[in-house]
């Protein structure tokens, strides 16, 4: 079972002992003052040569380690050298590297050698605390029973959250994953229903078998049976060879049917028959094939909408909904917005070879005040755009441009001038993103001069 100290990063930090090693006394003082009310104990040390003695004296949950010291040992790579020493002495201790901008390549290299993360001087206090919490959470997820934990899932850190609603989701996943119960995941578009489905599969007894995803809502009536149940060569015009369906492909594993609420009543009847009999019959044959699958379904419809028999069969709801998971929208997840924004900032900073970008206070406030109709997916694209376009090592409020696609204003209610401006702005953004922020190439593709493009960037506050 997941225990509270492993699930809640806040409690992990409150109960942790942290060692800070840096030859700059101002850095040591700043970290000690920042963490003295956050952690159980903060120990500071200027000389890394004392590491062995410190680690033999007590156990630290996390170490903040500078990349460069005045020591003559391995000059320029001291942080990497001392990281390896820590890994030798205390391999289970989380290490976060403290680095200057010029040491980014070395810091990235240290991640491959076991560092949990790195922060760039000067850091934003809130971001440093978030990074520490995440490192402690990941460390806590790896210890204990030796089995994979939900919050340390190999699917990535997008599936994370400190909010109570997400902690409740993690507890439910831990309980239902080992069973073969059919699961119905309910949530708005962009909330991560597919990540939840993958987490359930990866923590189930079927994890070594296939995870097969089908967007059934996008299948036409003519393709529905062929895609799910398979067909024999010659069964219809385009059936040029025998083909197994997705049910057979998922045999022994998990079948994830996304957007289940969008299929027709006729398709529902076909699906119900297969689920009841646990066998499929390929189109063009009369030979049923047994299938053994764990079924997970997802929809953006609420249970009340699915209960309408004009839209959805109740007997199918009962069949697919042994347990339902209701995924909260991002706007109801509180500080998870900041947690995820930090994750995406690190992700895309590394992808685009930039120093990890911090958020200033106004940027964080803007994120918290926005309602995110596109949920986590919209946040992800917003941060990626900001990382590409941002200057310096701090993201400001003006760098966070939320998607006009999610504005919620119907096209026919927008003034013509607003529509044209939105089209031009969106086109500029897409072309600049396409060329990874290269203004010269973007201007050339747009057919305007660099000066003209800069004027438009200023006009739209991009």
CA 82, CA 66: separation in Å to the nearest integer?
9
CA 358, CA 130: separation in Å to the nearest integer?
11
Asked whether residue 153 is assigned to any structural domain, the reply reads no
Asked if residue 406 and residue 272 are part of one domain, the reply reads no
Give the mean model confidence (pLDDT) for residues 292-300.
94
State pTM to two decimals.
0.57
Asked if residue 192 and residue 173 are part of one domain, the reply reads yes
Domain boundary among 291, 326, 361: 326
Strands 294-299 and 323-326, sheet pairing: unpaired
Note whether 117 and 132 are within 8 A (CB). Answer: no
Asked if residue 454 and residue 434 are part of one domain, the reply reads yes
The CATH number linked to 416 is 1.10.8.60
Ranges 60-74, 213-227, 236-250: which has the least confidence: 60-74
Asked whether residue 147 is assigned to any structural domain, the reply reads no
Asked whether residue 407 is assigned to any structural domain, the reply reads yes
Asked if residue 345 and residue 316 are part of one domain, the reply reads no
- C-alpha distances (whole Å) from 147 to each of 91, 175, 205 are 18, 14, 12
Asked if residue 445 and residue 382 are part of one domain, the reply reads yes
Helix 450-459 to helix 439-446 angle (10° resolution) is 100
Residue-level pLDDT at 85: 86
Domain boundary among 326, 347, 365: 326
- C-alpha distances (whole Å) from 332 to each of 173, 188, 419 are 20, 12, 31
Number of domains in the chain: 3
Give the mean model confidence (pLDDT) for residues 389-406.
83
Asked if residue 440 and residue 401 are part of one domain, the reply reads yes
Note whether 170 and 7 are within 8 A (CB). Answer: yes
Note whether 95 and 48 are within 8 A (CB). Answer: no
CA 271, CA 273: separation in Å to the nearest integer?
5
Residue 313's φ and ψ, nearest 5 degrees, are: -70, 130
Asked if residue 344 and residue 309 are part of one domain, the reply reads no
Element (DSSP H or E) covering residue 2: none
Map 328-351 to HEC letters. CCHHHCCCHHHHHHHHHHHHHHHH
Asked if residue 181 and residue 214 are part of one domain, the reply reads yes
Asked if residue 227 and residue 250 are part of one domain, the reply reads yes
The SS3 call for residue 420 is helix
Asked whether residue 151 is assigned to any structural domain, the reply reads no
User: Structural domain of residue 212, as residue ranges?
Assistant: 164-326
Query: Is the confidence at residue 83, as pLDDT, over 90?
Result: no
Asked whether residue 299 is assigned to any structural domain, the reply reads yes
pLDDT in tens, 41-64: 899 998 888 888 888 778 888 999
Ranges 11-25, 61-75, 131-145, 353-367: which has the least confidence: 131-145
Residue-level pLDDT at 333: 92
Residue-level pLDDT at 219: 84
The string over 3-21, giving b where at least 16 C-beta atoms fall within 10 Å of a residue's C-beta and e elsewhere, is eeebbbbebbbeebebbbb
Neighbours of 67 (CB within 10 A): 24
Query: Is the confidence at residue 383, as pLDDT, over 90?
Result: yes
Asked if residue 351 and residue 295 are part of one domain, the reply reads no
């Amino acid at each position: 079972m997941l225990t509270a100290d492993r699930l809640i990063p806040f409690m992990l930090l409150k109960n942790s002992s942290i060692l800070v090693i840096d030859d700059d006394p101002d850095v040591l003082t700043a970290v000690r003052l920042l963490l003295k009310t956050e952690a159980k104990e903060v120990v500071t040390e200027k000389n890394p040569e004392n590491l062995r003695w410190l680690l033999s004296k007590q156990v630290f949950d996390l170490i903040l380690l500078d990349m460069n010291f005045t020591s003559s040992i391995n000059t320029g790579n001291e942080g990497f050298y001392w990281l390896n020493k820590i890994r030798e002495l205390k391999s289970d201790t989380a290490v976060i590297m403290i680095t200057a901008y010029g040491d980014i390549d070395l810091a990235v290299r240290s991640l491959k050698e076991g560092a949990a993360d790195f922060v760039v001087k000067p850091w934003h206090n809130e971001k440093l605390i978030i990074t520490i919490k995440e490192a402690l959470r990941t460390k806590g997820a790896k210890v204990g029973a030796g089995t994979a934990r939900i919050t340390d899932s190999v699917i990535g850190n997008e599936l994370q959250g400190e909010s109570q609603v997400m902690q409740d989701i993690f507890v439910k996943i831990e309980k239902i994953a080992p069973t073969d119960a059919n699961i119905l995941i309910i949530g708005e578009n962009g909330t991560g229903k597919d990540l939840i489905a993958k987490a359930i599969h990866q923590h189930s007894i079927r994890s070594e078998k296939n995870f097969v995803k089908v967007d059934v809502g996008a299948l036409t009536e003519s393709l529905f049976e062929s895609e799910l149940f398979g067909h024999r060569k010659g069964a219809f015009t385009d059936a040029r060879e025998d083909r197994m369906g997705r049910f057979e492909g998922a045999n022994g594993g998990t079948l994830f049917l996304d957007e289940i609420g969008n299929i027709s009543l006729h398709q529902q009847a076909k699906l119900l028959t297969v689920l009841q009999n646990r066998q499929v019959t390929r189109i063009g044959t009369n030979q049923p094939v047994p299938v053994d699958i764990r079924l997970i379904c997802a929809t953006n419809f609420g249970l009340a909408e699915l209960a309408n028999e004009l839209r959805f069969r109740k007997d199918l709801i009962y069949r697919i909904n042994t347990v339902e998971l209701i995924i909260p929208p991002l706007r109801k997840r509180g500080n998870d917005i900041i947690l995820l924004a930090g994750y995406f900032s690190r992700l895309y900073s590394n992808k685009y070879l930039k120093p990890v970008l911090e958020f200033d206070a106004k940027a964080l406030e803007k994120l918290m005040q926005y309602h995110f109709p596109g949920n986590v997916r919209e946040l992800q694209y917003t941060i990626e755009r900001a990382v590409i376009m941002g200057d310096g090592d701090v993201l400001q409020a003006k760098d966070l441009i939320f998607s006009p696609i999610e504005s919620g204003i119907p096209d026919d209610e927008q003034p013509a001038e607003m529509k044209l401006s939105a089209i031009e702005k969106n086109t500029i953004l897409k072309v600049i993103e396409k060329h990874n922020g290269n203004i010269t190439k973007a201007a050339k593709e747009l057919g305007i001069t660099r000066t003209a493009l800069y004027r438009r960037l200023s006009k739209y506050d991009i």
